[in-house]
Amino acid sequence: MRCSCKGVVDYITDRYSYAAEIGIGHFPDVALALIERGVQVFATDIRPFQHNGVNVVVDDVTQPNLSLYAGVQLIYSLRPPPELVAYMERVAAAVSADLIVKPLASEHAGGKLISRANTSFFLWDTT
C-alpha cells in the first residue's frame, strides 16, 4: 500500500461490508485492499479513471447522482480537497451512510478523530 492507510483499512474491514470511495484518482490501493479483504467497494471520480479490480464511476460529489450510493454503509475519501468535505457529508447524510475522511496530515476535517495502527482519520457516524 503506497500510503500509510493500514489503520483505516482495518477499521473499515471490521465495521462495513459495502463502501464507496470518493475521489479515487490515481491511488486505488485502499479500495483494492478492502476488496481483497471482502468489502464490496466502488469508487467515484470526476475523471474516468480505470483501475483493474475496482469499479470506478464518473460522479461529481458537488452534484452527485445519489442513486449510485443506494445501500452503501460507508463513504470514504483519502486526502480530498478540504472544500469537498461538506459535500461528502451531505451525500453521506442523504443515503444514511457513515463518512470517513483521511486528510493530509496538517488538515482537520471535522468529525470524530480516530487513530488506529499509526493512521489518523475522521469519522462522521450516522447511527
Domains for the chain: give ranges and CATH numbers: 6-124 (3.40.50.150)
pTM of the model: 0.89
- Residue-wise pLDDT for 2-29, tens only, equals 556 889 999 999 999 999 999 999 999 9
DSSP symbol at 103: -
Residues 6+ apart with CB under 8 A from 95: 66, 69, 70, 71, 72, 75
- Residue-wise pLDDT for 53-108, tens only, equals 999 999 999 999 999 999 999 999 999 998 999 999 999 999 999 999 998 766 66
